[in-house]
Structure 1
Amino acid sequence: MAQAKALMDIHPEVAEAIKAGRPVVALESTIITHGMPWPENDAMAGKVEAIIREEGAVPATIAVIKGRLKIGLSEQERKELAQTKGAMKLSRADLAFALAEGRDGGTTVAATMIAAAWAGIKVFATGGIGGVHKGAETSFDISADLPELARTPVIVVSAGPKAILDGAKTLEVLETNGVPVVCYQSDVVPAFWSRQSPLPAPLRLDEPQAIARFHAMRQELELGGGMLVANPVPEKDEIPADEMAGFISQAQDDAVRLKISGKEVTPYLLGRLLEITGGRSLATNIALVENNARLAAKIAAGF
């Protein structure tokens, strides 16, 4: 832990808030480095940080810049990161590599959770988590986000597993690893771009303070690991599940035809869906990230 802290640069505002016990919300940075082009990526990141401030919390965007683990970015650092070419996409497996080699990188859900826990941040807002890919029984393609949720004590607020994944298998792996999945004000697990899915909510809570209380109880009992909060995208912004299913099927067929695999699958599918939906998937993605940031700030204030 001491060595990890020696590699971190905690933004003064974030450090002060953590020390004073004020609410802080961690944010990932792959959505900046790999999610969309400049300047839309910076505008989106700035808007999400502003939403967290509106709710009375301090945003802490996490990234690796020139081999330093940044917990909270200045506006200038964020703009520079948004224009960086060749940034790595960092998870548990390659976070240390980027630090050792002085690289730049955007942090995924897993790497952001690790850094947030090191810094003492309890809540993290993202878009959707990674999970079990369709066909994983032969490809063994399962996101590092899932085991990270089992080991790292951070609340992850998302719009559920990305709808390009096998949602049922993703929930099964989370259950096997003892990760609570809490659906916020919903009896079903949301499907990222869509509010509805055929998957019943494992747990439901309707108040941010109740989610904070649940997490605190888990820590009190020393159960370990984090918690996934599944927050449905606002109804006005969703793409209905039956409509989205057709788009996803087309994108997945294209990925198979092009023999895309490994870390490239998710970026390819998201990019292809942007094309197929004429930009609607990106607009919904931005809306759900903003919605998750707002809920995360309210949860952070509940401790």
Structure 2
Amino acid sequence: MIEKPHSPLVMSPEVADAVAHHAPVVALESTLLSHGLPPSRNLDVARRLERTVRDAGAVPATIAVLDGVPRVGLSDAELERVCAPDSGLAKLSLRDLGPTVALRGSGATTVASTAALAHAAGIAVFATGGLGGVHHPLPGTNVTWDVSADLGTLARTAIVVVCSGMKSVLDIPATLEVLETHSVPVLGYRTDDFPAFYLRSSGHPVPHRVEDPAQAAAVFTAHRAFSDSGLLLANPVPVEHELDRATHDRLLAEGLELLRDREVSGADVTPVLLEHFHTASGGASLDANEALVLSNADLAARVAVELAR
């Protein structure tokens, strides 16, 4: 029998104390900060996310790998480092954690790696912006091998992921099918429609609907009796920050053309697409991105409070 190596992660004293006493904790990713938001805005959002979680009664645990150490719960100085324009942080999915830790590198964690580290630390709830998914096939083909590691990680990690669906550049029906195949429950928070990040509805239904954090917590508790997979709680972008659909569709078409022209693929797709949306929308998509992730952090904290009861 091969023993798993001792986990090298380090929790902040506040997070470690909360986990030890079964107090509510919410994990927060760092890729959003270092790769998803501009340096002029990311540190403010990072602090507002943590404050939002605290205001709702939970302890925030922003996660990143710094100098080879996976850190669950960052100090303000570490948050500043993650958000610095010249941070040089790599974008770390789950497959990248081992090499980065062993080689003493630094990086920001994606949904997959954040979920894995949060679960290893004993944290049951994670708030993010959008989930990765299945990409559309390349022109002239009928299949794609570009499937986000987020889906496989959620399939085997018992954690609640609160997000606003996924970006409409992805194949949403195929992504929902993969989640179903892996027995990952998908709940709509006060909605019957699966959201598409900037849009409140993707046009595809959710299998189940919950009306409050207590119901979401109850579903997760019941689910864990039968499965080790995670749960996706889909929370639409606040209605006042939803992008106009015509504007969204125009920006998406332009963004897809940009990806084709630059031959962008893999992990570079999302940053390039986000940058186009942010620039071409005059900042409206940035406002929506910020609003939805703050809303998700608030909901995640309230679910964590219910789970801790």
When the two structures are superposed, what TM-score results if normalisation uses the length of structure 2?
Answer: 0.94
- Amino acid aligned to 2:49: V
The answer to whether 1:208 aligns with 2:208 is no
Partner in structure 1 of residue 77 of structure 2 = 76
CA distance in 2, matches of 1:249, 1:98: 36
Partner in structure 1 of residue 127 of structure 2 = 125
CA distance in 1, matches of 2:18, 2:117: 16
How far off its partner does 1:120 sit?
0.3
% identical equivalent positions: 42
CA deviations over 1:33-65 (Å, ceiling 9, x no partner): 111232411111100000000001000001000
1:219 corresponds, among 221, 224, 227, to 224
- Amino acid aligned to 1:36: L
How far off its partner does 1:2 sit?
6.9
CA deviations over 1:102-139 (Å, ceiling 9, x no partner): 11100000000100110000000000001011226444
CA deviations over 1:256-287 (Å, ceiling 9, x no partner): 11111111111111111112211111110000
The answer to whether 1:116 aligns with 2:118 is yes
Partner in structure 1 of residue 237 of structure 2 = 233
109-118 or 74-83: which moved more? 74-83
Alignment check: 8 A CA contact 1:154 1:226 kept: yes
The answer to whether 1:301 aligns with 2:305 is yes
| Structure 1: gaps (5+ residues) | none
Partner SS for 1:34: helix
CA deviations over 1:1-46 (Å, ceiling 9, x no partner): 97343x1110000011111111000000001111123241111110
Cα RMSD of the aligned pairs, angstroms, is 1.4
Partner in structure 2 of residue 89 of structure 1 = 91
Partner in structure 2 of residue 198 of structure 1 = 203
Alignment check: 8 A CA contact 2:159 2:230 kept: yes
Alignment check: 8 A CA contact 1:131 1:142 kept: yes
CA distance in 2, matches of 1:277, 1:165: 20
2:173 corresponds, among 168, 176, 179, to 168
Partner SS for 1:3: coil
CA deviations over 1:193-229 (Å, ceiling 9, x no partner): 11122101111111111111111112122x1110111
The answer to whether 1:32 aligns with 2:33 is yes
Partner SS for 2:277: helix
The count of aligned residue pairs is 301
| Structure 2: gaps (5+ residues) | none
Alignment check: 8 A CA contact 2:168 2:202 kept: no
Q: Which runs of 4+ in 1 moved over 6 A?
A: none
When the two structures are superposed, what TM-score results if normalisation uses the length of structure 1?
Answer: 0.96
Alignment check: 8 A CA contact 2:31 2:108 kept: yes
1:143 corresponds, among 140, 148, 155, to 148
Alignment check: 8 A CA contact 1:126 1:158 kept: yes
